[in-house]
Amino acid sequence: MAADDTRVSAVTPWHFYALLGVGLFSLALYTFIVQAHLLRKILAFNIMGSSVFLVLAGLAGSPAGEAPDPVPHAMVITGIVVAVSATALALVLMLRLRDTSGRLTLPEDMGG
Amino acid sequence: MTIAELFSAVLLLAGSLFFIAGTIGLLRFPDVYTRLHALTKADNVGLGLIVTGLILQAPSWEVAGKLMLIWLLVLVASASACHLVACTALERGVTPWRQ
Amino acid sequence: MAAFNLALALLLLSTLAAGLWRILQGPTPADRMLAAQLFGTTAVACLLLLAQSSGRASLRDVALVFALLAAVAVVAFVRRTWHPALRKGGNRRDNR
Amino acid sequence: MNQWLPLLVLASSLLPGLIIFALPEHKHRLRTILNLTGALLKLALVLGILWGVFNQQQYEVRLALLPELDMVFRVGPLALFFIILSSGLWLVTTIYAIGYLEGSPNRSRFFGFFSLCVTSTVGLAMAGNLFTFLLFYEMLTLTTYPLVVHRGTAEARRAGRTYLYYTVSGGALLLAGTVWLYSLTGTLEFVPQGFVSGLDASHHQALVVIFVLLIGGLGVKAALVPLHGWLPKAMVAPAPVSALLHAVAVVKAGAFGIVRVVYEVYGVEFSSSLGVAYPLAIVAAITIIYGSMRAMFQDNLKRRLAYSTVSQVSYIALGVAIVGPIATIGGLVHLVHQGVMKITLFFCAGILDETLGIHKVSEMKGVGRRMPWTMGAFTIAAFGMIGLPPFAGFVSKWYLSLGALEAEQDWVILLLVASSLLNAIYFLPILHAAWFREADGPWPHERELGRYETALALLLPPLVTAALTVLIGLFAAAPLTPLEWAKLISIREFGRP
Amino acid sequence: MPEKSNNQPTPEVQPPSESGLRWLSAALLLVLFAGLASAIMSLPVGTSGLSGEVEAELANSGVSHAVTAVLLNFRGYDTLLEMAVLLVALIGVWSLAPATAAPLTAPGSVLERLVELYVPIMLLTAGYLLWNGAHAPGGAFQGGAVLAAAAVLMFLSGRSLPASLEAWPFRSTIALGLIVFSAVAALLAWRRGALLDYPPAAAGALILLIETTATVSIGSILAALFLGGRPGDGR
Amino acid sequence: MNQRNYLWLLQRTALFSLLWWLLTEGNASSWWFGVPLVLLATGVSTLLAPPSCRSLAGWLRFIPFFIGHSLKGGFDVAWRAMHPALPIAPLLVEYQMRLANEQARVFMTNTACLLPGTLGARFEGASLKVHVLDGHGDFHSELETLEKKVAALFCIDLENNDGRI
Amino acid sequence: MVREAMLQYADIALILVPLAGALLSFVLPRAVSLIGIASAVGITFCALGLTETLLTNGVRQHLVGGWGAPLGIELRADGLSTLMLLMTAVVGLGISLYARVWFRSEANKAIWFWPLWLLLWTALNALFLAADLFNLYVTLELLGLSATGLTALAGSAAALGGAMRYLLVSLFGSLLYLLGIALIYHQCGNVDIALVAECLSPTSPSWAALALIVSGLVLKTALFPFHFWLPPAHASAPAPVSALLSALVIKATFYLLLRLWLDLFSPLAPQLDSLLGLLGAAAVLWGSLLALRQVRLKLLIAYSTVAQIGYLFIAFPLASVGMSAWNGALYLALSHALAKASMFMAAGNLMRHAGHDRIRELDLVAQRLPLSVTAFALAGMSIMGLPPSGGFVAKWWLLESALQQGMWSLAIVLVVGGILAAAYVFRVVGFAFTESPVTHEACPIPRAMEWIALVLALGSLLLGVFVQPPLEVLAVGTPLAGGN
Ligand code: NA
Ligand code: NA
C-alpha cells in the first residue's frame, strides 16, 4: 500500500473523534503523571485506553455511508479485554499493596 | 407525519419531560430517600412513555416486545435498587430529612 | 422522525450534566450511586431512541445489557461498597 | 604434533588447575602430585618445543574465533624465551608454595588459580597476534586477583581492589588500542618488524595515539611510572604470589607485551621514525630512577623489593626503546635475568617471614648467621641486581650500555651508573646488617621448621635460582643461554647481528 | 475489599508533587497534544482500511458479521492471545490474595428474589449475545460479561461456589475457552498446515464452538476477577 | 413432582421461550441454539426459585392498576420536584403486612417503590417500613389497596390468614 | 516422523507448547513443576528444530488462518527471531530447572509461578515470531501482565510496589505503542510490518507514530532515564523471576524496538539514532555508578542491567556502517541473558543461604557456596566484557564500529563502562574472600541451584569461544545489513 496521491487531507467528523481522543489522552496522561494516588493512576490509565480506542475506532468511520471498517473495531474489542484484565490486576495489586504497606501510593525509589 | 407518528412524538416528549423532572428532583430533594422517590418513579414513567412511543414506531411485534421487555427489566431493577439503597441507608443510620 | 428521536436523545444526554453535579455534591455515597443509576436509566432511553433513529437494531441489545448490568451495579454497591456491616466508627460521612 | 604441542603446553597447567579446584581441601597429597606433574610436564613439553625450534620447526595453532580474527598460538624464539622463563620458574615457585602454604586454609583455591595464572602467562607468551595476546592478558588479570586477595584480610582486599583498578583500566586501554589498530589495519598478526609501517601517512597520528594506548595498557602491568601504584601494595600477598607477580607472570607479561608491540606490531625502526620510541625510553628512564629512589626509603623488606622491581623491569622497556640490536639484546636478556634474581629475593623474604617473622629491613640484623643459606642466596641475587660481575645482572647492564653507545644515546650510560649506585645504596645496607651486625634480641616470631635452617621445600627453590643467577652470568656465552636466545631474536628483528 | 477503604482514614497520600513538575508536565502534554493533533489532521481521508478485503472474504469466514469474522477468523490468533491475557490477569490476581470474605449479613428477600428473576434472564441474554455475534454485534466477550454479571449477582446474594467445584472443575471451566481455542488452532494446523485455517464449510460451527466455550470461560474469569482473589481460602 | 409442578415448569419454559423469541426478534433459525438455552434457563430458574402459585386473572387485573398508579406516582413526584415551594413532608412509617407469602411481600415492597408517594424502605417479617413523600396524604389506604392486588397475584386470601407463612 | 513434524511445525509449536503447558499447569496444580519442566524441554527442542529448518530452508513464514497479510496475521521466523527464540529457550530451560528447585520449599507459590511463567514464555515466543503490529501489541500486554504477576509473587511490600510500578509503566508503554499503531493503521490501512514499511513516508502521522512507538518501547526497555522502574521490580522478585525479567523480558521489547527500527523507522528519522545512543551512553555510566553505590546485591545486579541496556542502544548510532554494531548489540543481548540469569540465580543462592543480600555481610560465602560465587564471577566476566566471553565479543564489535567511525565519546563510554562493571562485580567478589567468622545461621542450598547458575555462566563464556554459530543463524534473512 504505497501512499497514493488521490487521498486528500481534509477534516471530517471522524477526525473530530480522533482529536477528542488525543485530547482526552493528554488530559488523562497529565493525571497519570501528577496524581500520586494509585486508584487515580489506574483510572487515568483507563481513560487513556479509552481515548486510544476512540482514535482507533473513530477514524474507522467510512466516508460514503458504506459499512465502517471492521478491523479497528475488532482491535478495539481486543484492546478492551486487555484493558479490563490489566485494570483488574492493577486494582488487586493496589489493595494488596495497601494491606502490606498501608499506602496507596508507590514507594519511594530504591537505591537512587 | 401519520397519526401514529404524532402520537409517538407526544409520548416521547412526555417521557423526556419525566426524565428531566426526575433529574430536577434528584438535584432539589433534600435527602437520599426523597431523591430515591424522584429518581425511581419519574424515570420509570419516563422510560415507559418513551418505550411506548417507540413501540408505535417499531418495525415489528417482536421489536415492540423486546422494548417492553427492556422496560420491564429496568422496572424490576429500579424497584429493587430503590429498596436496597433505602434499606441500606436506614441500616447505616442515615436519618430521613424532616421539615 | 429519526431526527426527532436523535434530538430527544441529545436532550436526555444533556440531563446527565445535572447528574454530574449530584456526583460532585454527594453527600453520601448513596447519593452518588443514585446519579449513577440515573445515568443507567437515561442511557437505556437514549440507546433505544438512537436505535430507532439510526436503524441499528444492535443498540437495543446494548440497552438490554445496560438494563441488566445497572441492577448488578447497585447490588454491588449496597453489598460491597456501602454495606452496613462494613462500617466502622461513626456515620459522620453518611449524615449531613 | 606441531599443532598439538602448544595446546598441550596450555593444558598441562589448565587441566591440573581445574581439577585442583574440585579437590576437597584435605587432599594435599593428590594436589601436590597434580601440581608437580603439571609443572614438570610443562617444562618437558617446553623443552621439547625448544628442541624443535632449535631445529627450525614451526609451531602454530589457529582457532577461528571472530570472523576473520583467529586465536593464534605460535611458538617462535621470542615466545619460547618467555615460556621457558615462566615454566621453569613456575616449577620452582610451585615447590616453594607447597612448602610455604603448608597447613594454611583454602589451598585448593590457591593452587587452582596459581595454575590458571601460569596458563594465562603461557598463552600470552605464545599468542600469535595482538588479539590472542589481549585475551590472555585479561585472563591473567582475573586469575591473579584471587591470589592477591588470598589472605582475605581487609588490607589484602584493599590491595586487590587497587590491583584491579589498575589492571582492568590497563586492559581497557589495551583493548581500545587493539580494536582501533584492527579497524585501521584489518590484521593483528605479530610479524617481525611489525605490520603497521605500510599504513598511509594520514593514519600516523592515530598510530601514535594507539601506541600510547597500547603501552599505557601494558605499562600498568609492567609498572611503568606513573602506572606502578598497584605493585608495592600487592606485596601483602603471600610470598609465592609475590614471586609470581614480580618474576613469573604479571610484571613480565607487561614487559613482554611492550616487546611485542614495539618489535612485532610497530617494528622498532618504524617506532623510532614515528617518534614514539624515544619518549618510551624517557619514561623507562624515569621509572628506573624513581623506583630505586623509593626503594631506598622502604623499611618493609617486601616493599623495598617491590620498588626495586619497578625500577628493574624498566630496563627491559629501556632496552626495547633504544633502537639498535645490542640494546635489544640487553633488554630482552634482562627479562630472564631480572626474573631469576627477583624471584630469589622474594623467596628469601618469604623464608625470613615464615621462619623468623621478619618483615622489616631493620629486623634483619645478624640474620646471616642464623640463616646462612638463605642469606647467601639473597646476597647473590642482590649483587646481581646491583650489576656486579659475574652475576646475571651484569650481563644485562653491559649489553644495555653497549647498545646505548651504538645508538648514540650516551645519557643511558649515566642513567645506568646512577641506577647501579642507587641499587647498591638500598641493597648493601641489608647485606651489611645481615652479615656484619649482631641481632638486637629474639626474632619477632620464630618457628621451628625442620632439620635445616628452614623447611627444605622453602630453602631449595632460592638456592636453585641463586645458582642460576651465577650460572647464566658466568656462562652467558654458552649455547642456549638467555643471552644467546636474545641475540637470535635480535637478529630476526633487525636482520643483522 | 474496597469497603475497608471506605471509612478508614484515607491512607497517607504523598503531598502533591511540586508545582514546577506539574507545570512542566502540563507544558509537555500540550506539546504532545499539538503534535498528535497535527498528525491526525494530516491523516488522509478516504482510506477504507481493510474493509474491502474483509468484505471479499466474509463469505468464506463462517460468520456474516464482519467484526466477528475479524475477531474469530481473520485475526483469530489475536483473540487467542487476548484470552491468554485474561487468564494471566486472573492467575495474577489469584496469586496475590485470597478472595474477599462474602458480605456478613443475610442478603435479604428483595435481593434474593431479584437474583431468582435476573440470573436466568441474564443466562438467556448471554446466550443470545453469543448467538447474535455470528451476524450482528455481540459475541463471546459481551456474552461472557453478562454471564459474569449473573455470577456476580449470585456472589453478592451470598451464594458461593460449592467447595467441590472450587478446585479443578472451576479451574477447568476457566481454562476451557482457551483449551478449546488452542486445540482447534492446533488441530487445524495439523490437518491444513496453518493455525486456525478453518475449512470454509466447517468454519461457522468451529467458531461457534470456540465462542461458546470462550463465553463460559470469560464469564467465569470476569466473575472470579470480581472476587479479587482466589476462592477457597481466606473465608 | 405433582401435576401442578409440571404445569408450572411448562409455564416457565413457555415464558423463557417467549423471552428468547423476543430477544432474537423472532428469528426462526435461532431455535436450535435457543432451545437448549431456554431449557438451561428454566432449570436454573427452577433451582433458584421453587414453584409457587400465580394467578393469571390476578395479573390481568394488576397490570392496569399498576400502569395507572405508576403514572400517577410519576406525575406526583414530578409535580413536587418542579414546584417552586418543594411541597414535601417526608415521613417514615411502619406498615403491618397481612401477606403471608415472602415472595408476595417482596413484590409488594418493590411495587411500593413505583407507586405514588411511597417507598418500601425495609421489611422484617410482616412489618414494612415505608418512607412516604407526603406524610399528610392517605398513604395507608394506598398501601392496603396495593396489598390486596398483590395478594390476588399470589393466590393469597388476606381475610383467612393468621399472618404466618 | 516425529522429527519431521517437529521441524515442520516448530514455529507454531513454540507458541502452542508453552500455552498448553500453562493451561495444564493451571488446571492441575499438583503437577505444576513436572508440566513446567516438560514444557521447557519441549520448547527447547522446538527452538532447536526451528533453528535447523531455518539453516536449511531459510526464513520461515506462517500465514495464520491461511489468509496472509494484510487481512490475516503472519508469523515470521528469520535469523534474528530465531536467535532470540533460541536464547529464550536455553535461558528459559535453565530458569525452569532452577525454579523447580527454588520453589520446592514454596509449593503455594509454585502453583502460580508455573502458569505465569509459561504464559510469559508464550508471550515471548509469540512476540519474536510476530510480523504484525497489532498482534505484537497483544503479545506485549501478555508479557507485561505475566511479568507483573511474577514480580509480585514474592509478596513483600517491596515486591508489590515494584510490581505496581512496573505494571503502570508497562501499560502506559503499551498504550503509547497502540496509539502509534492506530495512527499507522489509519495511514496505511493495515498493520503488517512489511506492508507498512512500504507505506510510511516522512509526514507528520508517520513521525507521530514513530515517536509514540519508540517512546513506548524505550520506556518498557528501561532505557535511561526511564529506568526508574526496573531496579525495584527486578530486585524484589524471587530469584528465578528476577532472572527471567532481566535476562529475557527486557530483551523482548528491545528486540521489537530493533525490529521496527530496522524495518520501519530508520529511514524516517535518521537523527534519532544519535539520541538513542546518547541515552544509551548515559545509561551505561549512570547504571554502573548506581550499581557501585548499592548496598544490596540484587539491586546491584538490577542496576547492572540498566547499564547493559545502555550498551544495546549505543549500537544505534554506530550501525550506519556495516553489521558489526548490530552484531555487537545482539551478541550482548545473548550473553547478557545468560550471564544475568546466572547472576540473579547466584544472588538468589547467596540470599537463601545467608538470609539477606547485603553485600558487606557476604562474608566467607566463597568458601561456603563456591560454585555460586564462581558462577557470579564468571557471569561477571561477560558483564565486564572480559575475554573469553560473549560480552567481550560484543564489546569488541561495538568498539570496532565506534572507532571506525571516529565516535570517540562512545568508544570512551564503552571502555569506561567496562571498568565500572569490573568495579561493581569485584565489589561483590571481593567480599567473597573475606575471612570473618560465621555470624548467622546458614541455610543449606541444594547443589542443583548452584550448578544451574554455573552452567548458564559458562554458557555466557562459551559464547565468547563459539562465535560463528550464532552469527550463522543471525545471517539468515537478516534485516541487519544496515545502511552503508
Ligand atoms: Na617497571
Ligand atoms: Na625497572
Q: What is each CA distance from B90 to B32, G59, G240, in whole angstroms?
A: 10, 71, 53
Query: For residue F54, is pLDDT > 80?
Result: no
Report the percentage of chain B scoring pLDDT > 90: 47
Nearest bound ligand to CA D385?
2
Among the residue ranges B2-6, B51-55, G343-347, the one predicted with the least confidence is: B2-6
| Tens-place pLDDT, residues G109-161 | 999 999 999 999 999 999 999 999 999 999 999 999 999 999 999 999 999 99
Identify the band that residue E233 occupies on the pLDDT scale cut at 50, 70 and 90.
low
pLDDT in tens, G311-355: 999 999 998 766 789 999 999 999 999 999 999 999 999 999 888
Q: Model confidence over E119-143: pLDDT tens digits? A: 999 999 999 999 998 888 888 999 9
**Residue E191, number of CB atoms within 10 A of its CB:** 10
Please check whether residue F79 touches E, CB under 8 A: no
Dig out the grid coordinates for D188 from the structure: 593483528
Three cell numbers at E182?
Answer: 488452542
Please report, rounded to a whole number, the percentage of residues in chain D having pLDDT higher than 90.
55
CA G415 distance to own-chain centroid:
23
Among E48, E74, E179, beta carbon nearest to G67: E74
How far CA G387 is from CA of D118, D449, G299, G393, G394, in Å, comes to 17, 42, 25, 8, 10
**pLDDT tens for residues D194-211?**
899 888 889 999 999 999
Using the mean position of ligand 1's atoms as its centre, give its distance from the Cα of residue D330 in Å: 15
Search chain B and give the residue with CA nearest F91: B98
Kindly give the distance from the C-alpha atom of residue B95 to the centroid of ligand 1, in angstroms, as a whole number.
Answer: 94
Dump pLDDT digits (tens) for D325-381.
Answer: 888 888 888 988 999 999 999 999 999 988 888 889 888 898 888 899 999 999 999
Cell of G149: 504477576
What is the G403 CA–ligand 1 centroid distance (Å)?
30
Q: Quote the minimal CA–CA distance from B20 to chain E in Å.
A: 28
pLDDT at G1: 65
Quick check: E38 and G20 CB within 8 A? no
Intervals of chain A under pLDDT 70? 1-11, 62-66, 108-112
Interface test with A, best of E18, E41, E45, E207 (most A CBs within 10 A): E45
Q: What is the per-residue pLDDT for D310?
A: 92
Using an 8 Å CB-CB cutoff, list chain E residues near B76.
114, 117-118
* DSSP string of D182-196, one letter each residue: HHHHS--B--TT-SS
Residue among A1, A56, A59 whose CB faces G198 most closely: A1
Chains C and A touch (3+ CB pairs under 8 A): no
Structure confidence by residue, pLDDT tens digits, D132-141: 999 999 999 9
A62 in contact with chain G, both atoms CB, cutoff 8 A: no
pLDDT over threshold 50, residue G292: yes
> In chain F, where does DSSP find H-type helix?
3-23, 31-48, 56-82, 102-114, 139-153
Q: How far is the C-alpha of B92 from the C-alpha of E6, rounded, in Å?
A: 13
Q: Mark which residues 80-119 of D lie under 8 Å from G by CB.
A: 106, 109
Chain A residue closest in CA terms to E84: A82
Give the list of residues 6+ apart from residue F29 with CB closer than 8 angstroms, or none: none
pLDDT at residue G290, rounded to an integer? 96
Of the listed ranges A96-100, D442-446, G97-101, the least confidently predicted one is D442-446
C-alpha grid cell for residue D199? Answer: 599504513
Shortest CA distance to F14 belongs to which of F35, F44, F30? Answer: F35
CB-neighbour burial class of residue A110 (10 A; exposed 0-12, middle 13-18, buried 19+):
buried
Q: What pLDDT does G481 receive? A: 57
Across chain G, what does the average pLDDT equal?
Answer: 92
What number of CA atoms fall less than 13 Å from residue E90's CA on the CB side?
28
Residues 388-427 of D with CB under 8 A from G: none
Q: Which residues on C lie below 8 Å from B91 (Cβ)? A: 84
**Please, how many CA atoms are within 13 Å of residue D146, restricted to the half-sphere of its CB?**
26
Q: Is-contact C89 E9, C-beta < 8 A?
A: no
pTM: 0.93
B residues 67-96 closer than 8 Å to E (CB): 73, 76-77, 80, 83-84, 87
E184, E210 in Cβ contact below 8 A? Answer: yes
Q: What is the pLDDT of residue C95?
A: 43
Point out the residue among A9, A99, A103 whose CB comes nearest to the CB of E44. A9
Residue G8 corresponds to which cell in the numbers above? 515442520
In the numeric block, the cell 643483522 is attached to: D496
Any idea what DSSP says for residue E108?
-
CA distance G98 to G94: 6
Q: What is the pLDDT of residues E160-202, one digit of tens each?
A: 777 766 788 899 999 999 999 999 999 999 999 899 999 999 9
The set of cell numbers assigned to F157 is 386470601
- In the stretch 24-63 of chain E, residues with CB closer than 8 A to chain A read 25-26, 29-30, 32-33, 36-37, 40-51, 54-55
Under 8 Å between Cβ of G221 and G254? yes
> Residue B65 has what pLDDT?
94
What confidence tier does F58 reach under pLDDT thresholds 50, 70, 90?
A: confident
Cα–ligand 2 centroid distance for D182 (angstroms): 30
Question: Cα-flanking dihedrals φ and ψ of residue G155, to 5°?
Answer: 85, -10
Q: Taking residues G231-238, report their average pLDDT.
A: 94
Q: Show the cell assigned to C9.
A: 436523545
Distances (CA, A) of C3 to C55, F142, G413: 12, 41, 68
Taking 50 as the threshold, does the pLDDT of residue F6 lie above it?
A: yes
What's the average model confidence in pLDDT over G6-20? 92
| pLDDT at G479 (0 to 100) | 73
Interface of C with B (CB under 8 A): 1, 4-5, 8, 11-12, 15, 18-19, 21-22, 28, 30-31, 33-35, 37-38, 41-42, 44-45, 48-49, 52, 57, 60, 63-64, 67-68, 70-71, 74-75, 77-78, 82-84, 87, 91, 94-95
pLDDT-derived band at E159 (thresholds 50, 70, 90) equals confident
Q: Is A110's CB within 8 Å of G299's CB?
A: yes
Tens-digit pLDDT profile for residues E52-87: 899 999 999 999 999 999 999 999 999 999 999 999
Interchain CB contact of A16 with E (< 8 Å)? no
For residue D386, how far is its CA from the centre of ligand 2 (angstroms)?
12
pLDDT of F163 > 60? The answer is no
Cβ atoms of D68 and D322 within 8 Å: the answer is no
Q: How far apart are CA E86 and CA G141, in angstroms?
A: 10
DSSP string, D149-215: TTT--HHHHHHHHHHHHHHHHHHHHHHHHHHHHHHHHS--B--TT-SSTTS-GGGHHHHHHHHHHHH
Query: What pLDDT sits at residue E7?
Result: 40
Residue of C14, C20, C39, C44 to mutate, interface with B, max B Cβ within 10 Å: C44
Q: Which ligand is nearest to the CA of D220?
A: 1
Which residues 169-208 in chain G show a CB within 8 A of chain A?
171-172, 175, 178-179, 181-183, 185-190, 195, 198-199, 201
- pLDDT tens digits for D452-473? 788 888 899 999 999 999 998 8
What single DSSP character describes residue G263? I
Nearest CB to F119 within list B21, B69, B82: B82
b/e D5-36 (16+ beta carbons within 10 angstroms → b): bbebbbbbbbbbbebbbebeeeeeeebbebbe
Q: What is the mean pLDDT of residues F125-136?
A: 86
**Mean pLDDT across B17-29:** 90
Of D65-74, E119-128, E153-162, G435-444, give the range with the top mean pLDDT: E119-128
- From residue G182, give the alpha-carbon distance in Å to each of A72, G135, G415: 8, 13, 41
**Tens-place pLDDT, residues B63-99:** 999 999 999 999 999 999 998 999 888 888 888 888 7
Return the sign of the alpha-carbon dihedral for residues B2, B6, B11, B13: positive
Could C65 and E107 be called an inter-chain contact, meaning their C-beta atoms sit closer than 8 Å? Answer: no
What per-residue confidence (pLDDT) applies to E138? 80
Report the residue of chain F nearest E126, measured CA to CA.
F37
Q: Inter-chain contact G22–E85, Cβ cutoff 8 Å?
A: no
Burial status of residue F63 (CB atoms within 10 A of its CB: 0-12, 13-18, 19 or more): exposed
Q: What is the ipTM of this complex?
A: 0.91
- pLDDT confidence of residue A37: 93
Say if residue F162's pLDDT is above 90. no
User: What average pLDDT score do residues D6-34 get?
Assistant: 91
D390: preceding bond cis by omega (within 30 degrees):
yes
Task: Report residue D39 as a C-alpha cell.
Answer: 609443572
Q: Is the CB of residue D172 less than 8 Å from the CB of residue D166?
A: no
Interface membership of A34 toward E (CB under 8 Å): yes
Cross-chain Cβ contact E8/C88 below 8 Å:
yes
Model confidence pLDDT, tens digit, residues G383-422: 999 988 999 999 999 999 999 888 999 999 999 999 999 9
Mean pLDDT of chain D: 90
